[in-house]
Structure 1
């Protein structure tokens, strides 16, 4: 640790660690994160010797045989005693099955060993039997009974949860059916079937009603001057056969907000309610117009789209846009700036799955967790055609982020509309609803934005993305002004690059032909899925904890060597994926005169980790296991061990995910419990593994004006680096945060920043 940096032990005895305290990477025996609690075995005091088994008997069979033996011992002893009393050649004393009752010491020792290793091998069982004075077979049976009991308890808990969720969904569905069974359209007077009606059919009904009123008005005017009314030509309506109303709850994955439920969110998100009946016709008109505009903007070139000065990006010609689309959602608000961009790519996901990801708010926000911090559906106006999302319409709110505390998040209230076109192309469009129902002063308006999806052979899709917003960016820190104003922070290129990388990650998770040649490669498919799911939750928690969301209140510290250190606290009580207590989040962002690829490679490499990681304390860092997540070698989930000379930090395990694309890179890690990771690697549920993620978000500064040379990848310019830590400072949720804890984290970040600058030879940056 650099001289002059003191971390007060009296306030924070250890740093971020597996035990959840500030940094403590201690041994697993003292883990506060031990969420996996093992209850005493209901049969723990019994072992059975009257078993005739071969060595080939499976574990499940042996458990079943022992259970049957246990039942016979208790239920049949009475009859056996009666048989023993009759007959001259029988022993008058009752015969009982023999069993062995373990001592309390033996049980405690085996419980402790089970927490470390639920599956001991022959050598470990023999050694444990010698220590406890038991037969190896007794030890083997005890561990088998224990594993069976834990599996039963887990399945019982999981079944209870699924049963409750199923009952809730069934009750909600019945309530929606009853509410909509007698509904009528307030505009056209016809019957409604919102859950199933084609969106185009609903739009045609409204258009017919408007035309009928227009004909009546013209007829009245003509009668005044001509003396007779104009023939009232009938307006044809599409046939509407009666169909049962079905909201199709399962189509949206049980997402929050179905039917108008609103969950707690930020200031703007919290103040917005579901649209009223009077709003819906205007929302439909706006969505149809937005769809037409999106398709034209995605397909048109010059003069609407012009090449940028560097010839890389497409720039919107605002004058031409106003000429082609004179109406839209109204003029640009005073003080707002326009950000418009377009990008295309071929991704490894078929068009049906891609549409489902975009239309399911939970899957969509998870897929784009680096861009979407929070999202919810306020109301589903149409679920589309049965079996797909053609015609689906939903009113949503979302908060868009850049993972840094120096750029405010962008909140939007908008409608999302999905439509399948005749040429086999799907389109999904968003457009803000502020013009229909103005709410609190919003800093961001989404003009028609979204993507066109075209099916391609072999499960691929071509995606053309248009991102068009008007935003008040006065709250952006000067460090990020150029990145944001150029459109690279929230633009189409970042959406498409993220989508492409995530599609490769999903393909990796589903891969079955994993070569086993390389050391450390995880070939167990269930173990791969569990580990990737845990890493996914870690990344989401990191991004949500570092952005300048309206739901977060940051305290700014100065004098760290970086621009600012922002500190925020949050309480965790009943979250199984986070240790209970007070969690402190600290983050800072600064500029480095080094290309992003060099920074990313330096931070993700285990061989250079001890150059910046204070907590590794100079120990040997070794990658134990990894999962490749795409074509770029930097996209990887790893399990890292730190063998430190410090006994309190020995055998430290770290889960790390590194990911990179042309717009952003991340290196995110979290200390993990050894026993919990064994469960995950064997395909167990990762939701109960407690995580406190820390790490780095790396963005290009968007300019080469600082005179930095080109690296081997061809990238130039500097990097914008965000360093963030999440630390448990007190395991009691009601405790108060001490100034010593804040000072310790401040020093930790300052030391990390200085070490990174020194290692990359940019001390003066």
Structure 2
């Protein structure tokens, strides 16, 4: 390179790096010949400067203090610094050949000694100081690149671990400890909470152990320790009758509350921490009920016979996957929907549903016990919109062979529009993840009523009943009926509601014609008879089921129609005689249609064929009250004309009810003077009754006889009937008396003889 070029720093080191390189051609100091001689070198120099500028811009973005491998800054380096005073930095540009030679040596020896630097500086025409700085800057640049690469890899690895951590946290969020029911990650809980959960697990184990021992000695499962502590069961019929046995007339709010082991929820309501979850559950249940009541909901399909709607469970899971969690292991699903019109205004119907006592009166054959445990919200002032309460209910089928279904649930009411209401029920055990599946017998998914007011004072009601239940304790005779959804399904709720609304309409009727009154003197007397019949039927329904309040004892029998008995003390109970009451019941299957069995049992003209108490005398209907559109829904006062004229005549109050879900025929002997007072408008509360009767249910299918059976086929239908016969008899006027074996033998003979007479009259004995 010419000497003048090497000594012209303003050519190789322009004062401003960002000035366009073409401005060098306008420097007035240079001659035209010199510029032409350096044309080739300037072209390569221009390319070098442009590449170095790009590299410098990139390094500035990364906040990198060192310079490019083609830059050499005099006066400082990253490794060694001279002690010379600060001076202005000068930038030396290296040619591509210089860079290439130094790069080759760097690849072989990144740290050259003084001798190697001296030799390289002579070959390249550079000062040893420039070579030294170049190697220092190159090492710094390489180190920075390696650190940047390592940082990038570490960032990627850290992001990967973070994603895996989030995934694992989500996966274990719902994992529960099998011992205490709490979260598996104890590190997220305080020490006190850990100790409480451990103590809770120990108490649960102790409770299970005590329950097993109690069941072993009592001979039946223990559903409530409180029941057995205050009401010990008796396996001997010669022992005194339990003085504390709850009577059927006990107020619902004073009855026993199931314990935590049975329901998963303590009595007394929720804590402040639980109430937001409760509100969220109620809102979610209301949203699901609203969609399930819509006609276009795809989760509903018609059953095979086309008689009712049932749930397509797979479609339901798709539509409501996040609703309330999966179905517990061992439970079956029962979901039905029915739509109908009832004779009651929408506002009155909502009020009846939100009052536990009135709700029981609407469904006496379905609800054996019910009460409100806690009121979380009363709704808007003067309106039930927003009402939220915690309730308990025990649902029954009228037979001692079918266990009742106990439920703790939220009942939430919402007004969606003018004249459009919805009332939803949902079990609260969904909030209790620590409830063992072995103690969960049933739970209610969002179920309830969509009530739309009609101009004529009636209401259009859509009922959805969705329940998960355990049927292992159900007698095989009732398995088909229960699993078909007819026992506790929406159809039974709707038909019972329609019949009861018709009854209430008849009860509160003000304009009664003389023809409708018949032998009843006044309209007030008609109303009193209806009230007395209602109490009689309610007492019958309350005493015939397998409620947790009852302790049935099975007597020896054939195994197909065993008689079960139960004793209770009636003391200071209004409407019942004073003393010891013995209840006896049996259930059997008949190859006769339910309608035919009902017509036979309610017909007073053939009563002597099965009623032993009539002693073969003729039975005459003295008064008749229609309480619905169906002729079978009525109240009658019957008179038995004894064959022996010296015997006093007897009056029988009888009520019959029927719908597609089942039928009832309930009756009781009544005192003649007391009945005369009732027919003239007297209060019926003082009349003592011990009801007996029949509950008639369809068998759930058109059962065919077995190969070894020969039966007469019912010409009125192909389906059979499930008949429950129940009697209540006063065996002693002294509450402290003991129950004798003679009394047991008498009632056993009475009920067995009645069953045989019914079979003979219907010509359905199995040969």
Counterpart for residue 391 of structure 2: 396
Equivalent residue in structure 1 for 2:485, among 477, 484, 487: 487
Counterpart for residue 80 of structure 1: none
CA distance in 1, matches of 2:451, 2:603: 37
- CA shift for structure 1 position 312: 1.4
Q: 1:746 to 1:549 in 2, by over 3 A?
A: same
- 2:359 aligned with 1:364: yes
Counterpart for residue 285 of structure 2: 290
* Aligned 1:199-598 pairs, distance under 5 A: 263-265=255-257, 268=262, 272-277=266-271, 278-301=273-296, 303-422=298-417, 424-437=419-432, 441-517=439-515, 520-522=518-520, 524-559=522-557, 562-598=560-596
- CA shift for structure 1 position 333: 1.1
8 Å CA contact 1:561–1:750 kept in 2: the answer is: no
Equivalent residue in structure 1 for 2:734, among 725, 732, 735: 732
- CA shift for structure 1 position 694: 0.2
8 Å CA contact 1:344–1:464 kept in 2: the answer is: yes
- CA shift for structure 1 position 271: 7.8
CA distance in 1, matches of 2:517, 2:682: 22
- CA shift for structure 1 position 679: 1.9
- CA shift for structure 1 position 680: 1.4
CA distance in 2, matches of 1:649, 1:292: 65
8 Å CA contact 1:336–1:471 kept in 2: the answer is: yes
Greater Rg over alpha carbons, structure: 2
8 Å CA contact 2:264–2:429 kept in 1: the answer is: no
Counterpart for residue 231 of structure 1: none
CA distance in 2, matches of 1:272, 1:637: 42
8 Å CA contact 2:516–2:625 kept in 1: the answer is: no
- 1:60-116 CA distance string (max 9 Å, x none): xxxxxxxxxxxxxxxxxxxxxxxxxxxxxxxxxxxxxxxxxxxxxxxxxxxxxxxxx
CA distance in 2, matches of 1:381, 1:355: 17
SS at match of 2:766: coil
Counterpart for residue 750 of structure 2: 748
Q: 1:654 to 1:448 in 2, by over 3 A?
A: same
CA distance in 2, matches of 1:710, 1:753: 18
Counterpart for residue 687 of structure 1: 685
Counterpart for residue 722 of structure 2: 720
Once the two structures are overlaid, the 10-residue window that deviates more, 693-702 or 649-658, is 649-658
Q: 1:519 to 1:330 in 2, by over 3 A?
A: closer
Equivalent residue in structure 1 for 2:641, among 639, 643, 650: 643
8 Å CA contact 2:580–2:730 kept in 1: the answer is: yes
SS at match of 1:587: strand
8 Å CA contact 2:346–2:419 kept in 1: the answer is: no
- CA shift for structure 1 position 686: 1.1
Counterpart for residue 191 of structure 1: none
Equivalent residue in structure 2 for 1:698, among 696, 699, 713: 696
Give the paired residue count: 506
Q: 1:270 to 1:583 in 2, by over 3 A?
A: farther
CA distance in 1, matches of 2:668, 2:765: 27
- 1:257-311 CA distance string (max 9 Å, x none): 9xxx764255647984022223222111111110000010111546311111111
- CA shift for structure 1 position 710: 7.2
CA distance in 1, matches of 2:401, 2:296: 35
Q: RMSD of aligned C-alpha atoms?
A: 2.1
Unaligned ranges ≥5, structure 2: 1-249, 706-711
Counterpart for residue 762 of structure 1: 764
8 Å CA contact 1:269–1:398 kept in 2: the answer is: no
* Aligned 1:139-154 pairs, distance under 5 A: none
What's the TM-score once normalised by structure 1's chain length?
Answer: 0.64
- 1:186-235 CA distance string (max 9 Å, x none): xxxxxxxxxxxxxxxxxxxxxxxxxxxxxxxxxxxxxxxxxxxxxxxxxx
- CA shift for structure 1 position 561: 7.9
Counterpart for residue 615 of structure 1: 613
- CA shift for structure 1 position 723: 0.2
SS at match of 2:515: coil
CA distance in 2, matches of 1:320, 1:665: 35
Counterpart for residue 117 of structure 1: none
CA distance in 1, matches of 2:676, 2:494: 35
Q: 1:575 to 1:262 in 2, by over 3 A?
A: closer
Counterpart for residue 116 of structure 1: none
CA distance in 2, matches of 1:282, 1:256: 31
- CA shift for structure 1 position 363: 0.6
Counterpart for residue 138 of structure 1: none
- CA shift for structure 1 position 330: 2.2
SS at match of 2:307: coil
What's the TM-score once normalised by structure 2's chain length?
Answer: 0.64
CA distance in 1, matches of 2:422, 2:715: 39
- CA shift for structure 1 position 705: 3.3
CA distance in 2, matches of 1:532, 1:264: 30
CA distance in 2, matches of 1:256, 1:614: 34
8 Å CA contact 1:262–1:378 kept in 2: the answer is: no
Q: 1:760 to 1:256 in 2, by over 3 A?
A: closer
SS at match of 2:431: coil
SS at match of 2:520: coil
8 Å CA contact 1:411–1:442 kept in 2: the answer is: no
CA distance in 2, matches of 1:362, 1:584: 27
CA distance in 2, matches of 1:518, 1:281: 55
Once the two structures are overlaid, the 10-residue window that deviates more, 522-531 or 453-462, is 522-531
- CA shift for structure 1 position 528: 1.7
- 1:593-645 CA distance string (max 9 Å, x none): 11111100100011010000011011110111121000111100111111112
SS at match of 1:594: coil
CA distance in 1, matches of 2:264, 2:321: 32
SS at match of 1:559: coil
Q: 1:356 to 1:705 in 2, by over 3 A?
A: same
- 1:378-437 CA distance string (max 9 Å, x none): 011111112221111110000000010010000000000111112531000000001224
- 1:648-678 CA distance string (max 9 Å, x none): 8531011110000011100000111111112
Counterpart for residue 663 of structure 1: 661
Unaligned ranges ≥5, structure 1: 1-254
- CA shift for structure 1 position 521: 4.9
Larger RCO, structures 1/2 (Cα 8 Å, 6+ apart): 1
- CA shift for structure 1 position 548: 0.3
SS at match of 1:487: coil
8 Å CA contact 1:705–1:717 kept in 2: the answer is: yes
